[in-house]
Structure 1
């Protein structure tokens, strides 16, 4: 099952998914649950412009006198979190462990300054400008959770239950999934990135891991019995689509372990996985630098590098891969 992006999709019984239009990176799917007595978001868009668009679409579906008064954040990457600032009075709910990732990422204004101030003649500057230059965080203040979840939390909105489950470190430190049993729907956050033949997606990027935890998180999504899965990015899936994603994750994990055992550095391992061409339809293959680097850290106990170092490596591999593709050489 796939649903075209760039619109609000009605999932039944007051539940909607917002699938944003293509606009740089950071295009997170978001959810809206509406009842006569209140409404909540599941995740928030990346910058105030996109968040304002989602809010306008939300308000068209709110009963008179109802506002969005909660935001459940599946993880603390800015593309699922920073736009919550357009709802200054809403309660923001995240996992306790999400605090760690909040402190790892730059603030919105720091990221804006980095993108705007980077030299476009360098690989990093060109990459940041191409993928993040469309966003404006120049006046975006940091947002922080009001309520922290450990384990399980069940909320009720009208007649609908909302089951929140914190996860071990997977995509980030501080992931959660949201299951809505009335609608048989899960919002998975970025433990699932989706792709279909009709709507090819991008390679996932996993900051925490290990990949066994990401696979386990996908299995927990399936174990809910949900018929509809709204991933963090890409088209809406059915359970078969999640199983296909698990096969992708298992492939990347196997290749990372094989190359690590052979003494191949993480950057070179990412390059080799790209050249194997197993998933040619997926975009942004350079993000394998992050995912494979995270897996290597679990294998050898190395420290987490800074965001700038990681993104510099991502940009370098992106430039190399594009040059190879343009010249017709091996990818």
Structure 2
């Protein structure tokens, strides 16, 4: 069954945030900026069903004769990118470095085949069905950016400035943030998740890192002076929420470094951090397997494993946490 729904939040001055119907893997926040002379999206939903629903909601807010002509992709994970196919004529903007992550991830149809064809009696098959089985990429063609940039990109949409800044490797190798000065708002992509006690979401997942870079990216978001921060996932934050999220990241970094120094393998380190139960309100603690594994690679110089191996480790830890009644 497809995932449907989503709320549109009016952030003022032609800016809207589309918030998915629930928390979980693949359910990313998206943005819509509208002016009398054009409109653009910041990120897209994961599959054509959700993307089509976002498009319908967007069209309700467009002036007569205005189309959505651009999509700014904060990074190349499919849950922020693959829905661009519902806008076949739009310019798709991404960082030059995002190409690396496009080649790392499976294509939409490869992912559909993996989810549909996995054995549900195994931890990996069960996990994929539970968290990704609600999406449908069976007819989704791979999309590619049409415009790549490096550094800073300044756009205008009517009277609105749109400041796009590439970031060093953090969540992925090709992250960017979008600052809208007239609206005092930043769309951060996945360098920020809502992982605060006041506005809980899910544990972040970081594929690249190191966590120092993720924390520095949060500092860059705050340095804009934005009053509203739309994270990649979870509720909208204010600057205090971003600082609380940075404290979470610093905690995970400290524990990863300490456990690495003690010779604890990465997956076991993730299990131990989960067992500490420091952030019980956050969902999907098994995603610490990815983030801590990424941090370990920066500490010991190891290579990035295939995404299927990473997800198998994630699923195994989730299975063990469920069986032992640990944090969920």
**Fold in common (TM above 0.5):** yes
Give 1:25 deviation, angstroms: 2.0
* Other-structure match for 1:284: 284
Paired with 2:49 and 2:301, the residues of 1 have a C-alpha distance of: 40
Distance (whole Å) between structure 2 residues aligned to residue 149 and residue 7 of structure 1: 31
Take 2:194 and 2:273, find their aligned partners in 1: how far apart are those partners?
19
For 1:261 and 1:197, locate their aligned partners in 2 and report how far apart those are by CA, in whole Å.
Answer: 29
Measured in 1, the distance between the counterparts of 2:301 and 2:217 equals: 22
Cα shift at 1:236:
0.2
> Does the 8 Å CA contact 1:324/1:330 hold for their aligned counterparts?
no
- Aligned residue number for residue 44 of structure 2: 44
- Distance, in Å, in 2 between the alignment partners of 1:245 and 1:199 is 10
- How many residues align structurally? 324
In the alignment, what sits opposite 2:178? Answer: 178
Contact 1:24–1:132 under 8 Å retained in 2: no
Once residues 259 and 81 of structure 1 are traced to their aligned partners in structure 2, the CA distance between those partners, rounded to angstroms, is: 35
Residue in structure 1 matched with residue 202 of structure 2 by the alignment: 202
Distance 2:144 2:313 in 1: 29
* Per-residue Cα deviation, 1:180-216 (whole angstroms, up to 9, x for no partner): 0000000000000004556521000000000000000
Conserved 8 A contact 1:199-1:235: yes
- What is the CA distance between 1:67 and its match in structure 2? 0.5
| Paired residue secondary structure (1:75) | coil
Match of 2:156 in 1: 156
Aligned equivalent of 1:270: 270
* 1:306 corresponding residue in structure 2: 306
How many angstroms apart in 2 are the aligned matches of 1:24 and 1:171? 17
Alpha-carbon displacement from aligned partner over 1:102-136 (angstroms, at most 9, x marks no partner): 00000000000000000000000000000000000
Structure 2 gaps, min length 5: none
CA-based RMSD of the aligned residues comes to 1.3
Given the two structures, how large is their TM-score scaled by the length of structure 1? 0.96
Q: Say if 1:24 and 1:130, in contact at 8 Å, map to a contact too.
A: no
Matched residue SS, 2:182? coil
Residues 195 and 204 in structure 2, CA contact (< 8 A), matched pair in contact too: no
Gaps of 5+ in 1: none
CA–CA distance in 2 between the matches of 1:219 and 1:187?
A: 14
In 1: Cα distance, 2:304 partner to 2:24 partner: 26
Structure 1 residue 22, shift from structure 2 partner: 1.7
Could you list the runs of 4 or more consecutive aligned residues of structure 1 that deviate by over 4 angstroms after TM superposition? Answer: 196-199
d(CA) in 2 for partners of 1:247, 1:149: 31
TM-score (norm 2): 0.97
Secondary structure of 2:148 counterpart: strand
* Contact persistence 2:44–2:80 (CA under 8 A): yes
Q: Name the CA distance, whole Å, in 2 between partners of 1:186 and 1:330.
A: 32
